[in-house]
Amino acid sequence: MTDAAKPGWTFLTNHGHVLLLVARQPDIRLAQIAQQVGIGERAAHRIVEDLVQAGYLSRQRIGRRNVYTVDLDRPFRHPLEAGQTLRSIEGLITPSAT
């Protein structure tokens, strides 16, 4: 994303953007995540690791690639979303069939 195309702010954090990308493309590479979110590869790696450690993602090694699975039943972390899980935004997370 070029600087001219970047919005000044967004509703989702980088963690949210990474989660969306991984949910839509489970075998995405860290370099692709970094490029699409507009962050460095180290930041992408750190965010993926945060999401794995928190249980939002699970990682399976297949050959030389990681394949991720999103746990839609994990609750949101902020008190304002208490009682809500990722499943409540499943339509945003998973691509719609067209």
> How far, in Å, CA of 51 to CA of 20, rounded?
12
List pLDDT tens digits, range 66-98: 999 999 889 888 888 788 888 777 666 776 544
**Using CB atoms within 10 A of its CB, is residue 30 exposed (0-12), middle (13-18) or buried (19+)?**
middle
Contact criterion met (CB below 8 Å) for 18 and 33:
yes
Distances (CA, A) of 82 to 6, 20, 22, 47: 31, 20, 24, 22
Instruction: Write down the mean pLDDT value for the chain.
Output: 87
pTM over 0.85: no
Domains of the chain, by residue range, sit at 14-93
Angle subtended by helix axes 30-37 and 14-24, to nearest 10: 130
Single out the residue of 11, 36, 34, 19 nearest to residue 71, CA to CA: 19
* Fold designation for 14-93: Arc Repressor Mutant, subunit A (1.10.10)
pLDDT at 2 over 70: no
